[in-house]
Amino acid sequence: MSVNHVLTRSFKTGNNAAVVAEKTVAVDSESVVPALTISDGEDDHFEAWQVDISRAKTIFMQSTKDVTICTNAPEAPSGAPDQTIELLANQPIIWAYGDQESCPITADVNSVYITNGSGEDAEIDLVAGHQ
């Protein structure tokens, strides 16, 4: 069963004129980690999240505080992640197949390890859509 992911990007000019671009992408499956709370000072919080890079159609990642996300393994010295993403507060990563930017995930993901050293608890959302 197909699900639609709707990506909306907006921009306001100096005179508050709004420009909105919307893109709808049909996906066959989702991997979702909704409203996850990562306590301040928590290191390498494990969470299962799957991204099959060969089938990825959408990626959405957001956090209310600056956090570090490592894919498939924690940071050294205890591991060697495939990718380390510095996810900045209130600056979501939004990607859909066909965008001008490359997919922000560079290899298959089975799990993420999240570290929060921001000084406050962080709320995280992760979504991947697959064909």
CATH number (domain holding residue 85)? 2.60.120
> How high is the pLDDT of residue 78?
75
- Provide the residue-wise pLDDT of the chain in tens; the chain has 131 residues: 799 999 998 888 888 888 899 999 999 999 999 999 999 999 999 999 999 999 999 999 999 999 999 999 998 777 799 999 999 999 999 999 999 999 999 999 999 999 999 999 999 999 999 99
The residue type of 101 is E
For residue 124, the enclosing domain spans 29-130
In-domain check, residue 9: no
What pLDDT does residue 71 have? 97
Residue 111, domain member (yes or no): yes
How much is the pLDDT for 15?
87
Cα of 9 vs its chain's centroid, Å: 16
- Predicted TM-score (pTM) of the model is 0.91
Whether 2 is covered by a domain: the verdict is no
Is 12 among the domain residues? no
Tokens linked to 99: 């965008």
Phi/psi at 79 (nearest 5 deg)? Answer: -165, 180
Three-state SS at 111:
strand
- Tell me how many domains the chain contains: 1
Whether residue 18 contacts residue 10, with contact meaning beta carbons closer than 8 Å, is answered with yes
